[in-house]
Amino acid sequence: MGKRLTKIYTRTGDDGTTGLADGSRVNKDAPRIEAIGDIDELNSTIGVLLTHDLPTRLRDTMTAVQHDLFDLGGELSVPGHAIISASHVSRLEHELDAVNASLAPLTDFILPGGSGGAAAAHVARAVCRRAERALVTLASREGVPPLLLQYLNRLSDLLFVAARSVNSHAGVRDVLWQQGKSRNA
């Protein structure tokens, strides 16, 4: 097991830099740190999602995702160190298929909302898409393993169907988008 944090503040970041796990220091606004920060925020939003009433399978899946995201952030903090594998992406695809199979076919666009839990899943989905964009930026400048991008892409899809699943579980209908609804209001 690695070091345990006994002192939270170190003052080493007071100059606008932060340390990577390999010992190197980079600016806090570097693309790698932006991506790590977005992954951290995504993990936090999934933590908020987990405070809601979720179907057991979805709760277990999201708990595993939180661990994966910590691993993904760790992989980003040690350039060249691989943690996320194809099996992580396959597991998300399997869960995505299973959750989606229990839902009615989607025939309209839906708005983020419905139940509180579904709204939390939609926020997590939007944060996931931002984290994916930050990773694309990093990949264009420094390169990242394609599996990390695949993982976040599948996760955003899973969070979308999770929102629908949470609404269904709560007995709440998805909020259907109505084009031009407020035009004449």
Domain-located, residue 6? no
**Residue 70, in any domain of the structure:** yes
pLDDT digits (tens, 9 = 90+) for 22-76: 777 776 778 888 999 999 999 999 999 999 999 999 999 999 999 999 999 999 9
- Supply the CATH number for residue 171's domain: 1.20.1200.10
Residue at 115 is within a domain? yes
**Position 20 in a domain:** no
Torsion, Cα of 149, 150, 152, 153 (10° steps): 110
3-state SS track over 63-92: HHHHHHHHHHHHHHHCCCCCCCCHHHHHHH
Residue 80 lies in a domain: yes
* pTM of the entire predicted model: 0.88
Number of domains observed in the structure of the chain = 1
DSSP-assigned beta bridge partners for residue 17: 27
pLDDT in tens, 134-174: 999 999 998 899 999 999 999 999 999 999 999 999 999 99
* Boundaries of domain holding 132: 27-101+111-175
In-domain check, residue 134: yes
